[in-house]
Amino acid sequence: MNSEKFHIGLGNNDSSIRDSAKKDYISFWNECAKSLSWFEPWTETLQWNPPFARWFTGGKINASYNALDVHQNSKSEKPAILWEGEDGTDRKITYHEMFIQVQKLANVLKSLGVKKGDRVTIYLPMIPELPISMLACARIGAVHTVVFSGFSATSLSDRVEDSQSKVIITSDGGYRKGKIINLKEIVDESASSVQFVKNVIVYQRTGQDIQMNEKDLLWSDVMGSASPVCNAEVLDSTDSLYILYTSGTTGKPKGVLHGIGGYLTHLYSTYKWAFDIKDSDVYFCTADIGWVTGHSYVVYGPLLHGATQVMYEGAPDYPDSSRMWDIIQKYDITIFYTTPTALRMLMKFGDDVPNSFDLSSLRLLGTVGEPINPQVWKWYFDVIGKKKCPIIDTWWQTETGGMLISPLPGIETIPLKPGSATLPIPGLDIQVVDESGNEVEPETKGSLIIKTPWPGMLLGLWKDEQKYKDVYWSKFDSVYYPGDYAIKDSDGYLWLLGRSDDVLKVAGHRIGTAELESSIVSHNEVAESAVCGIPDEVKGESIIAFVVLKESAHSSDEKLRTELRETIRTQIGPIATPNQFYIVNKLPKTRSGKIMRRLLKAIANNEKIGDVSTLEDGAAVSEIQSAFDELQKNVQNQQ
């Protein structure tokens, strides 16, 4: 762990928020919920029947109303979305324009027989019609299930079938790294095997010719004739808002089910606390809406606050590595929220690229999706934030709905430590425990647990109550177990060490992949790294590492390997030293920026690679395979 502290903040220090949360977390969240607009007040703040929590029962609310209707007098002409396509096209959509579009689409869905509780699958690229579709569903009480536009026809049909969606909303295609992804063709392949889909609404994004089938309707046709007035449905706080499928280590993806009142309360609060949002801010979160970060902090969180945000369609390094910095300069972005993976990739190109852009509008930076390496944190702080922007390193999951651990510049100024997500948000009791569920001493690795319910937590898993209990509540008695390892330091700061299923077991020692990858990336010539284990007759597992170098790297591969071994021995210990280092130009990643470690493991173990439908760049796999084969050949020749 890095003990270096950075004393920087935005001048806020409201200790009363944490004090009231510690005193009575239920009363605390009760007050937080009053920031939203309710049709009828709730009769009970929390019904807690472990492991099921129901927040603000009896309360009547609507997510679309809170995102749009409440802003129509004060912010109707304010931009809600400043959209930029990968191909350079751009659009500005005000809160009033979104309001009209959402009402029209809500009426279209009603005309197609969609009612409260029905599911609608949304399979769109990162265009404004995606949040419009989500809010149209929310307006009439339909449950939206967004499917990431990088998923294959099989993945799509699995989700459509499991959710039993009546309608699919899609596009002819979307742009990614200069290519058109033909989404309509994928939907046709998928929908043909799912008989209960009544209609497919097709938005024309790319202008290419599309095959229209009997069930298909053009977005432009149905929206052109739709009424622009649709009152928001009065819904129960505990009604379902959306299903979002998340992959586990085994089996089919789990359908995570989120409600309305609790989820919105959590997002309204955490968005305000973490981003210290002002009316003048221009916010940019790079997450795809196909993942939970996009749901919570691209769609619902910003819109609840009437914020202006930039929404970008394509790859962060297209047409070159300057795209993100160009967008920040172009739109005078003040808040930038991205992934450590994206930062490591952009860091590889050196400081000159971002330094050639005016990034002075930035006042706050954030990261999400995985633990951030201290070396990357410092680069982000020094080069991008110019040593003046706080970095909120946030930890949370699809299942948690919103942030659970993060610095909160909106309410307090605390020292920041590179690599630590700092403290739990107010109203949560998060601990680090041993295998018996007992709290461990400071500086000791253990399992992260959450001891009290929180408003953003999932209602359960879609159609699988038992799996919900087994996956999240069976390891420790009556507490939520997210499946992550962590350390709590002597200051109470939490350091996330990665998933427990990303833990390597070498000669009986448990070594976190995040901890090891951070050590490798601390070398000044390394941009990215991914490690995995392969079977070893003696140790159980031996470690192999895949390493991407910075463009400025000049050491020979052998010299670098020697230095990396020494770095790991010094920082972690000899037991963590990888058997082999593979120097590659890129790592296999999903379009959301997560490294596909299972592909690395499959290559190293000479196993079938399996589904690669979410892979960003297929060339990465063949390149790694070649590097692996070449090194194996060299080892055999030496023997």
CATH of the domain at 603: 3.30.300.30
User: Any idea what the CATH number is for the domain that residue 118 is in?
Assistant: 3.40.50.980
Whole-number mean pLDDT of the chain? 91
pLDDT for the residue 275: 97
How many whole angstroms separate alpha carbon 216 and alpha carbon 167?
A: 10
Using an 8 Å Cβ cutoff, are 639 and 612 in contact?
A: no
Residue 15: inside a domain, yes or no?
no
Using an 8 Å Cβ cutoff, are 412 and 13 in contact?
A: yes
Residue 216: inside a domain, yes or no?
yes
pLDDT at 317 over 80: yes
pLDDT for the residue 250: 43
Helix axes 153-163, 183-191, angle to 10 degrees: 50
pLDDT category of residue 498 using cuts at 50, 70 and 90: confident
pLDDT for the residue 248: 52
pLDDT for the residue 631: 56
pLDDT digits (tens, 9 = 90+) for 539-552: 778 899 999 999 99
pLDDT for the residue 122: 98
pLDDT for the residue 251: 53
pLDDT category of residue 512 using cuts at 50, 70 and 90: confident
Tokens of 621: 């796999």
Domain enclosing residue 619, as ranges: 507-638
* Across 158-181, average pLDDT: 94
Query: Domain end: 213, 233, 253, which one?
Result: 233
Residue 627: inside a domain, yes or no?
yes
Percent of the chain residues topping a pLDDT of 70? 92
pLDDT for the residue 615: 62
Peptide bond before 51: cis, by omega within 30 degrees of 0? yes
At 74, is the secondary structure helix, strand, or coil?
coil
Query: Domain end: 212, 233, 254, which one?
Result: 233
pLDDT for the residue 604: 79
Residue 34: inside a domain, yes or no?
no
pLDDT category of residue 560 using cuts at 50, 70 and 90: very high
Residue 76: inside a domain, yes or no?
no
pLDDT for the residue 479: 95
pLDDT category of residue 635 using cuts at 50, 70 and 90: very low
Phi/psi at 146 (5° precision): -85, 130
How many whole angstroms separate alpha carbon 206 and alpha carbon 150?
A: 16
How many whole angstroms separate alpha carbon 337 and alpha carbon 456?
A: 20
276: left (phi over 0), alpha (psi -120 to 50) or beta: left
pLDDT for the residue 623: 67
pLDDT at 638 over 50: no
pLDDT at 590 over 80: no
Pairing label, strands 174-176, 179-181: antiparallel
pLDDT for the residue 503: 73
Residue 241: inside a domain, yes or no?
no
How many whole angstroms separate alpha carbon 410 and alpha carbon 25?
A: 19
Widest CA span in the chain: 77
Element (H, E) at 53: strand 52-57
pLDDT at 500 over 90: no
Number of domains in the chain: 2
pLDDT at 230 over 60: yes
pLDDT at 376 over 70: yes
Query: Domain end: 233, 248, 266, which one?
Result: 233
Residue 591: inside a domain, yes or no?
yes
Higher pLDDT, 619 or 126: 126
Phi/psi at 195 (5° precision): -75, -25
Using an 8 Å Cβ cutoff, are 371 and 519 in contact?
A: no
37: left (phi over 0), alpha (psi -120 to 50) or beta: beta
Let me know if 63 is exposed, middle or buried by CB neighbors in 10 A (0-12, 13-18, 19+): buried
Residue 318: inside a domain, yes or no?
no
pLDDT category of residue 104 using cuts at 50, 70 and 90: very high
